[in-house]
Amino acid sequence: MADNLSPEIRRKNMQAIRSQNTIMENRVCSALWRRGLRFRRNVRNLPGKPDIAVKKYKVVVFLDSCFWHSCPQHGNAPATNMEYWSQKLHGNKARDQEVNAYYESKGWSILRVWEHDVKTDLQQTVDTIEQFIRKHERKSPKQGGTNHG
């Protein structure tokens, strides 16, 4: 099946796809922030540029789109340029596995959330992420001296 867009228009469409500050990411992060969680977004100096990171607790969260990360339920390759898309999407999955292995080897906790979970039930997804982060909170030393209790 041929692409119904000219190469120039297809290129512009593809360039407009955002990898950060997406609607999904903004909705999730805003909800977490309102719940009092503090984190960094799209941390460039961490492998995979996690969407949400709490370095203090060694926690990262990735919000994976169903298309770009080949969701088993909703991921589908375009019918045009199938060889390119097959390689691209397979490469994305392989990179996700490498990123997961990196964090696991360094003792970090990693959570991957599918786009369809955010779309289906935002509050439940935010609850899951909040519970994941809070589970890994470490008590920081008390400020202002020692406690000999």
What are 11-49's pLDDT values in tens digits? 555 544 555 668 899 999 999 999 999 999 999 999 999
The CATH number of 18-135 is 3.40.960.10
pLDDT grade for 58, boundaries at 50, 70 and 90? very high
What's the pLDDT tens digit per position in 59-72?
A: 999 999 998 899 99
CA trace torsion 66, 68, 70, 74 (10° rounding): 30
Whether the pLDDT of residue 142 is over 90: the answer is no
Whether the pLDDT of residue 139 is over 50: the answer is no
The C-alpha atoms of residue 52 and residue 40 are separated, in whole angstroms, by 6
In the chain, the percentage of residues whose pLDDT exceeds 90 is 62
Output the six-digit token pair for 128: 């899951």
More confident residue, 20 or 89: 89
Determine the straight-line distance between the first and last CA of the chain, rounded to whole angstroms. 73
**Range 102-126 average pLDDT:** 97
Judge whether 137 and 57 are in contact, CB under 8 Å. Answer: yes
Burial class (CB in 10 A: 0-12, 13-18, 19+), 118: buried
Residue with tokens 């990360």: 69
More confident residue, 20 or 119: 119
Note the pTM of the prediction, 2 decimals. 0.80
Whether the pLDDT of residue 52 is over 90: the answer is yes
Alpha-carbon torsion (15, 50, 103, 132), positive or negative: negative
Q: Which pLDDT score is estimated for 120?
A: 96
Beta-sheet strands, E only, within 7-108: 40-41, 52-54, 59-64
